[in-house]
Structure 1
């Protein structure tokens, strides 16, 4: 319902304030007002707005305006970061969405067809269905938070309606768990070609040392580069990993872990060698480590090996050394022991061994760090 009020300023000139209010179920859902110098202008504006708001989604469209998907995601990222800093993976996915053609689509005009087209285009550009699935997951998260976080009448309906077709046409797929481990001879090749890379002009990443440390600690590249000298406890041979990755609580998830075997030797040596004014044990950027590792793998002619696979290698080695699942979890940071089962890589033929007598214990080599 529209109301128009006369307003007189200090000089006596008249203006007209038009206000349009919409109620649903006795509750005010929208109110908007503008001031005009002439009564006719105020009446015309109020009449047009009332007709617009009377449409089924008129109020929603009015609140959103012409905001595009890209604009909306930008606002969502900003507000989310005010509550809790957003993880690197999530930020990266939203950057990709904002750089894609779907970002130009008005939020209130988003349809399943737009989403399907986005997935098809991502596939044509080389993105795997598992990667495209991340786009859809995080787009749905942003749209689903519209009402609670942003106060905007946005829903994830288009995403939910598109998903059955995306699955049916294999445009999206769940990520498969990698079980890549080092094959015989691959570690030696990494060391040989890592030495060649380190000998190159302007090379500064000690890739061989980082490979050995990643396997010994099961740490991710980002965790390795964030270790501070002040976080090392020499007496207990432990280190504090800050903001360790966790699906539910990444930030503030600090964990103290043991530095076993070669890991402690590497840290001890670095503590004595790194400049006093350098707070980090490994003063390198995560991207620099990734690039150096990829080039080393390429030159060593090793297929399908990522730096993160070294974490899988390290965890599997701990099990092979005889550590129990609860002990491995202390090193790897896993809170759910169930997720560690896949790292054991046990096969049916592994069970063909001489059974031990009840009084026997299996011999475990290299387990000198268990104190």
Structure 2
């Protein structure tokens, strides 16, 4: 299969994907986008809950296409998780289902959606991302894509102390090296900072002893 050959060649570094992105919202960019999206969804002709979808996308680390396909029947209330069907994988296009835990407010956002359709967010993913792009452009925010929100969510988990393996269970990455490369680009000094903090704590313990 061509798809299998592509994956093998990619693993052998004989072909490569486009340059990795490391863009995250900076400063007050997200707050400005939220404010403008609120204005957009409060318009009388609007029907897409942009704010809920934005926050859910970040907290769940899902692609917008995945968010708009989640089914109510695939919600596990006991474990506060949802089944993401056919999750993107270079080796498998269909049947790659994965249970994803909804952490923090992601579960609350899901619960407050009206059950008017089979999907929790029954909206066209292209319409959602197009609305985001129009707002971003109106605000003069450059080079920020909707997909970057997935990186933002994963980066927040990393900052909160979750391990790469734990984050991969949320993002769906099969190759941990992909996550590792992203984080070494975004946080080159993080290990040094943690080491210095542990050293200071150890010194304080010695003084107390």
Smaller-chain TM-score bracket: 0.7 to 0.9
1:212 match? 55
Cα deviations by residue, 1:341-365 (Å, 9 ceiling, x for unpaired): 13322124772463315997xxxxx
- Structure with the higher fraction of residues in strand conformation: 1
**TM-score by structure 2 length?**
0.83
Q: Provide TM-score, normalisation by structure 1.
A: 0.48
Match of 2:197 in 1: 355
Q: Give yes or no for the alignment of 1:346 onto 2:187.
A: yes
Q: Which consecutive unaligned segments of at least 5 residues does structure 1 have?
A: 1-79, 81-140, 145-172, 361-371
Between the two structures, name the one with larger relative contact order (CA 8 Å, sep ≥ 6): 2
- Other-structure match for 2:153: 314
Q: Measure the CA separation in 2 of the matches of 1:268 and 1:308.
A: 24
Aligned residue number for residue 96 of structure 1: none
Q: Who wins on radius of gyration, i.e. which is larger?
A: 1
How many pairs are equivalent? 188
Show structure 1 runs of 4+ deviating over 4 A.
357-360
Give me the CA root mean square deviation: 2.4
1:312-332 per-residue CA deviation (whole Å, 9 max, x = no partner) reads: 101111100000011001000
Aligned to 1:282, the other structure's residue is in SS state: coil
Q: CA, structure 1 residues 235+358, in 2 after alignment: closer, same or farther (shift >3 Å)? A: farther
Q: Distance in 2 between matches of 1:299 and 1:221?
A: 21
Contact between 1:190 and 1:208, CA under 8 Å: does it hold in 2? no
Say if 1:216 and 1:260, in contact at 8 Å, map to a contact too: yes
Matched, 1:282 2:92: no
Which residue, 249, 261, 269 being the options, matches 2:112? 269
Query: Could you tell me how far apart the structure 2 residues matched to 1:341 and 1:214 are?
Result: 21
Match among 70, 76, 81 for residue 238 of structure 1: 81
Aligned counterparts of 2:101 and 2:190: Cα–Cα separation in 1: 33
Give 1:274 shift.
Answer: 2.5
Note closer, same or farther for the CA distance 1:333–1:174 as it changes in structure 2 (3 Å cut): closer
**1:184 matched residue in structure 2:** 27
